[in-house]
């Protein structure tokens, strides 16, 4: 046990004095990353992918999740399978393509062939093996310990004894419903993956993804852009609240002046856009009543699902997940989520909106990358300058979207996982 673990917490909290501080060693210490791998990424539900990515039997993607190589496939019966992408024979990765469609998977090393569900079908020299070799479950590609879904979002967990995904998500489900209910025929992942990285600790992106406080300064040029683009702003002020959803999950729900393809109109979308958004909004009212329709259409949501999934329902919808490669380096994957039945007009403007703000080539994300990398540089001074402050809004009955309640929710849960005691 190192000195940090003996400390038994990474947090300094005094509710009365409104103090909430996080030790900067949590962002730089290799022992902490090791503990995170064992106690968080090996124990929590992790996002694998969306059902729409595997539209038909035989479709597959390979993906790195929680340090494992996963083969995610739709088998011949249409069932989704999450397998460890390693040959039961001698360990080689069986599938070496990032995505595609297959009838079977063959390990090229010795030629073993597996069905779409990972069952061993044949291997060269079968007569040299035990008669019941193919009936043994150990001859098949191994399934992940747990695999469950909610609203076409598929999760896995490497801990067999974990609670159900439904219990794990708890009140998060209601927010996923609000996001997914904008579609009548279900949501789909649009083609194209944004894969990027930051030279920063992964938890910095958790904080940043649910940080309503940094927009005016970090994203000054994005806001300048909205102001200079004719008709890019609705007459709506930033206003909203933050909620701790338990188990480290949190959400911001707020109004903002940008256009939303479901469904907040901005003048630059013209009459065609107005007709389209009115039709979408009327459809929502018909299905859900005015109150819920207003919530779906006009409120933005930055939803954080512990430990590393962000679903932001803002000027477009993004699904983003990220993993540490080292204390000061993370890999990020991001996708665009959209209603399946969306018209060409709405899809086009949704994606145009997405790139305005989001992603490593957008007008905002590169500045987030810069901010997080500068934090990581600042942490080189962590032996002397030891603490981060996330006390904004402490003691308020209704914390604002630009307070830091949601970060305190994350860190309290993180601390419990790492040190096994409530903060």
Q: Which residues make up the interface to other proteins (CB under 8 A)?
A: 98-99, 190-199, 218, 220-221, 224-225, 228-229, 331, 335-336, 344, 347-348, 351-352, 354-356, 359-363, 365-367, 369-371, 373, 377
The residue among 299 and 335 lying less far from other proteins, judged by its C-beta, is 335
Residue 26 near residue 203 (C-beta atoms within 8 A): yes
The residue among 199 and 396 lying less far from other proteins, judged by its C-beta, is 199
The residue among 331 and 391 lying less far from other proteins, judged by its C-beta, is 331
272 dihedral zone (left: phi>0; alpha: psi -120 to 50; beta): alpha
265 Cβ neighbours under 8 A, 6+ residues apart:
234, 259, 273, 274, 277, 278
Please choose, from the candidates 248, 255, 224, 200, the residue with its C-alpha nearest in 3D space to the C-alpha of residue 402: 255
| Minimum distance from residue 18 beta carbon to other proteins (Å) | 29
The residue among 254 and 335 lying less far from other proteins, judged by its C-beta, is 335
| Minimum distance from residue 50 beta carbon to other proteins (Å) | 13
Residue 299 near residue 148 (C-beta atoms within 8 A): no
| Minimum distance from residue 211 beta carbon to other proteins (Å) | 15
Using CB atoms within 10 A of its CB, is residue 37 exposed (0-12), middle (13-18) or buried (19+)? Answer: middle
Residue 164 CB coordination number (10 Å): 11
Residue 99 near residue 73 (C-beta atoms within 8 A): no
Residue 160 phi/psi, 5-degree rounding, is -60, -35
Alpha carbon distance 76, 256 (integer Å): 45
- Whether the upstream peptide bond of residue 253 has omega within 30° of 0, thus cis, is no
| Minimum distance from residue 143 beta carbon to other proteins (Å) | 26
The residue among 117 and 276 lying less far from other proteins, judged by its C-beta, is 276
| Minimum distance from residue 13 beta carbon to other proteins (Å) | 31
| Minimum distance from residue 141 beta carbon to other proteins (Å) | 24
| Minimum distance from residue 347 beta carbon to other proteins (Å) | 6
- Whether the upstream peptide bond of residue 307 has omega within 30° of 0, thus cis, is yes
Residue 261 near residue 274 (C-beta atoms within 8 A): no
Length of the chain: 423
Residue 123 near residue 111 (C-beta atoms within 8 A): yes
| Minimum distance from residue 378 beta carbon to other proteins (Å) | 13
The residue among 51 and 331 lying less far from other proteins, judged by its C-beta, is 331
The residue among 208 and 406 lying less far from other proteins, judged by its C-beta, is 208
The residue among 140 and 376 lying less far from other proteins, judged by its C-beta, is 376
The residue among 5 and 69 lying less far from other proteins, judged by its C-beta, is 69
Residue whose token pair is 């004894």: 161
Residue 112 near residue 123 (C-beta atoms within 8 A): yes
| Minimum distance from residue 203 beta carbon to other proteins (Å) | 17
| Minimum distance from residue 195 beta carbon to other proteins (Å) | 3
The residue among 172 and 338 lying less far from other proteins, judged by its C-beta, is 338
DSSP string, 103-133: S-EE-TTT--EE-TTS-EEE-TTGGGS-TTG
Alpha carbon distance 402, 288 (integer Å): 29
| Minimum distance from residue 48 beta carbon to other proteins (Å) | 17
The residue among 307 and 359 lying less far from other proteins, judged by its C-beta, is 359
Alpha carbon distance 97, 267 (integer Å): 44
């Amino acid at each position: 046990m190192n000195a940090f673990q003996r400390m038994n917490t990474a947090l300094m909290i005094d509710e009365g004095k409104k103090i909430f501080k996080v030790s900067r060693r949590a962002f730089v210490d290799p022992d902490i990353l090791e503990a995170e791998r064992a106690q968080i990424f090996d124990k929590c539900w992790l996002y694998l992918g969306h059902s729409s990515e595997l539209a038909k039997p035989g479709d597959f993607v390979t993906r790195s999740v929680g340090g494992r190589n996963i083969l995610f496939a739709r088998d011949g019966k249409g069932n989704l399978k999450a397998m460890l992408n390693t040959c039961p024979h001698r360990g080689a990765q069986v599938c070496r393509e990032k995505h595609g469609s297959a009838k079977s998977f063959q390990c090229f090393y010795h030629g073993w062939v597996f069905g779409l569900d990972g069952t061993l079908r044949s291997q060269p020299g079968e007569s040299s093996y035990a008669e019941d070799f193919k009936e043994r479950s150990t001859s098949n590609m191994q399934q992940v310990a747990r695999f469950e879904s909610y609203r076409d979002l598929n999760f896995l967990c490497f801990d067999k004894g974990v609670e159900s995904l439904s219990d794990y998500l708890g009140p998060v489900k209601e927010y996923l419903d609000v996001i997914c209910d904008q579609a009548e025929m279900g949501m789909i992942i649009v083609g194209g993956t944004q894969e990027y990285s930051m030279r920063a600790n992964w938890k910095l992106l958790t904080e940043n993804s649910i940080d309503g406080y940094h927009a005016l300064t970090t994203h000054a040029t994005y806001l300048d852009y909205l102001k200079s683009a004719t008709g890019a702003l609705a007459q709506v002020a930033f206003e909203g609240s933050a909620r701790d959803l338990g188990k480290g999950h949190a959400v911001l729900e707020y109004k903002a002046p940008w256009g939303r393809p479901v469904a907040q109109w901005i003048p630059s979308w013209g009459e065609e856009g107005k007709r389209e958004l009115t039709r979408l909004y009327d459809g929502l009212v018909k299905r859900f009543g005015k109150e819920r329709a207003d919530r779906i259409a006009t409120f933005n949501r930055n939803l954080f699902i512990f430990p590393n999934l962000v679903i932001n329902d803002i000027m477009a919808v993004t699904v983003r997940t990220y993993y540490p490669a080292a204390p000061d380096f993370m890999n990020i994957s991001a996708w665009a989520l959209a209603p399946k039945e969306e018209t060409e007009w709405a899809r086009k403007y949704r994606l145009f909106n997405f790139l305005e703000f989001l992603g490593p080539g957008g007008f905002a994300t590169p500045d987030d990358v810069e901010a997080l990398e500068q934090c990581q540089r600042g942490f080189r001074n962590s032996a002397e300058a030891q603490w981060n402050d996330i006390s904004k809004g402490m003691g308020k009955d209704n914390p604002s979207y630009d307070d830091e309640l949601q970060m305190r929710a994350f860190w309290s849960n993180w601390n419990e996982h790492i040190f096994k005691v409530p903060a």
